[in-house]
Structure 1
Amino acid sequence: MIHEMFSHRLCNGFLPEIEPQATDIIICVSGNAIMVGGEPEAAEFPRGSQLPSDGTYLYLFSVDGQNVFWSQQEDRELLPGFAYKTLKEIRWELKGPAHYMYLAYTAWHLISWYRDNRFCGRCGHNTHPAAEERALVCDSCGHVIYPRLIPAVVVGIINGDEILMTKYANRDVPFYALVAGFTEIGETLEECVAREVMEETGLKVKNIRYYKSQPWGSVQDLIVGFFCDLDGDPTIHMDRSELKEAVWVQRADIQGQPDDWSLTHHMMMTFKAGKEPA
């Protein structure tokens, strides 16, 4: 999965005093896109030496000891050989390296939080970064805002030697996924699993068991993977506002997604190999 970088290490400690150096990575944004260059499987982001030294930069984290900053000046003029691309475009057009994609997703998570909270939700005044922790503080009322994490589930529904695979409605995605959805207020993760399965497919499930989790910064969520067993009738009653296809697929017939970065793909391949938790 994209966050399992093995030989690479992301450190997300709060170090506000650090200033960008010539070789540090600078994430520049415009709308919902990030400035990126390079070739397929060799994506590149701007470096400190390529941008004005008097700009306003905010430290985000480091990868393999290399610091990553956000340029708070948005809509910068493109550097030669660079373009503004969405995370989806970077993923499918440049395709890596994987640890740079994880860098981009995690940076986008933090940058989205900073951008969305420039003003206090209580009184409407400006906010500023806290001095001692990663938080934003209202200039007027002192309200403290912490980074947002949105819990979501992805579900492998098992019926003997089959797993339920889906395609989302209103998305131009050719490959299969699994049932997934966001956790509601007052709901446990396990309750979310049962509800999402029922809402999207009309199926009842049992033996809900945790598998793995994955941060996925494009929508600021933390995805939690579960396997579960069908409880009763296997007839699918699909919610067509959510899904355009939902089918039972035999282990041997499972085809994964084009890359191995998502928890969804990993769960499908784990089931195909017969290694899902009992």
Structure 2
Amino acid sequence: MIQDIFPHVYHNEMKWKIPDQEDFVLCYGKEHILYCKAADDRIDLPRVADLPALREQLQYLFSIDERAYYLAESEAAPGEGWEALPTGKLRSLPRRARIFAAAAGESLYRWYSSQRFCGRCGARMGKSKVERAMVCPACGNTVYPKICPAVIVAVHDGERLLLTRYKDRPIKHYALVAGFNEIGESIEETVHREVLEETGVRVKNLKFYKSQPWVFTDTLLFGFYAELDGDDHLTVQEDELSEAVWVDRHDVPEDTTGFSLTAEMIEQFRIGAVK
């Protein structure tokens, strides 16, 4: 999956570190733009040394191995030679540490840029000096990075898997039942509710598979396999899905990209790793 960057190591603890000339700078623009150089399924990012005028505007984000990544707080293009790449294209590039860094960095960019003013009193927010947080100097309101818990559910019935297609989205390939956790609800309760709402069926014997930080939407995904419980008749939630269908194991489309939790779970069922 996109976050699987072994043998590289992602260090996300907050630091107050002076930028090194060779550290990377993530420059984002409005409308989901990353400024970089893209060629041959790779991206090259500017270094601190490339952008001396922005040095005083850099916000530490994280490190991969010993190399730090900083956010350029200006949304202007960093200069000549850097192209505007729509960040949606990161999903189609091969898994590499730099691709993950660009995607994770955009999640923090969205958070920093949306927390400039206090949502409680309207005062300008300031950065915490002890943790990654934005703090209102007027009322003390403290805001942490946005992470939304959600579930991905592979409902199966013997040799059949329940596949769905989203409605009104550019991505038209098969997906699994998915949805966000609600206040006061356990993640297991979210599984039962979302399956019932989207497809009209009930499930049992939930088995947690693994999680994935889906940084493109600031989401932490929890993947579950669940068995059909009772009637297999499907009632599609038409405002969410364009299709829900039972597919025999040997007819499940192959997906070896390994980019997303959904794709990996579907592939695990297809190859017989899940019974």
Counterpart of 1:192 in 2: which secondary structure?
helix
Change (3 A) 1:108 1:256: farther
| Paired position in structure 2 for 1:74 | 75
Report matched runs for 1:103-114 at 5 Å.
103-114=101-112
Counterpart of 2:52 in 1: which secondary structure?
coil
Structure 1 residue 129 displacement after superposition: 0.9
Counterpart of 2:60 in 1: which secondary structure?
strand
Change (3 A) 1:86 1:257: farther
Structure 1 residue 257 displacement after superposition: 4.2
Report matched runs for 1:256-267 at 5 Å.
256-257=254-255, 259-267=257-265
Cα deviation code 1:33-92 (max 9, x no counterpart): 211222132112221122124440000000121100000011224531x32233212322
Does the 8 Å contact 1:70/1:111 carry over to 2?
Answer: yes
Does the 8 Å contact 1:55/1:73 carry over to 2?
Answer: no
| Paired position in structure 1 for 2:138 | 140
Does the 8 Å contact 2:256/2:267 carry over to 1?
Answer: no
Q: Does 1:13 align with 2:17?
A: no
Does the 8 Å contact 1:105/1:216 carry over to 2?
Answer: no
| Paired position in structure 2 for 1:4 | 4
CA distance in 2, matches of 1:215, 1:121: 26
Does the 8 Å contact 2:167/2:239 carry over to 1?
Answer: yes
Does the 8 Å contact 1:43/1:97 carry over to 2?
Answer: no
| Paired position in structure 1 for 2:206 | 208
Equivalent residue letter for 2:87: L
TM-score normalised by length of structure 2:
0.94
CA distance in 1, matches of 2:37, 2:99: 13
Report matched runs for 1:36-185 at 5 Å.
36-53=36-53, 54-80=55-81, 82-92=82-92, 95-185=93-183
CA distance in 2, matches of 1:273, 1:122: 51
- Flag as ranges the 4+ runs of structure 1 deviating above 6 A: none
User: Aligned residues, how many?
Assistant: 273
Counterpart of 2:163 in 1: which secondary structure?
strand
Equivalent residue letter for 1:118: R
Q: Percent identity?
A: 37
Counterpart of 2:198 in 1: which secondary structure?
helix
CA distance in 2, matches of 1:79, 1:218: 27
Unaligned runs of 5+ in 1: none
CA distance in 1, matches of 2:232, 2:97: 40
Change (3 A) 1:254 1:228: same
TM-score normalised by length of structure 1:
0.93
Cα deviation code 1:160-213 (max 9, x no counterpart): 111111110001223211110111111111111111111111111111121100
Does the 8 Å contact 2:95/2:259 carry over to 1?
Answer: no
Change (3 A) 1:135 1:85: same
Q: Does 1:217 align with 2:215?
A: yes
Unaligned runs of 5+ in 2: none
Match of 2:248 among 247, 250, 253: 250
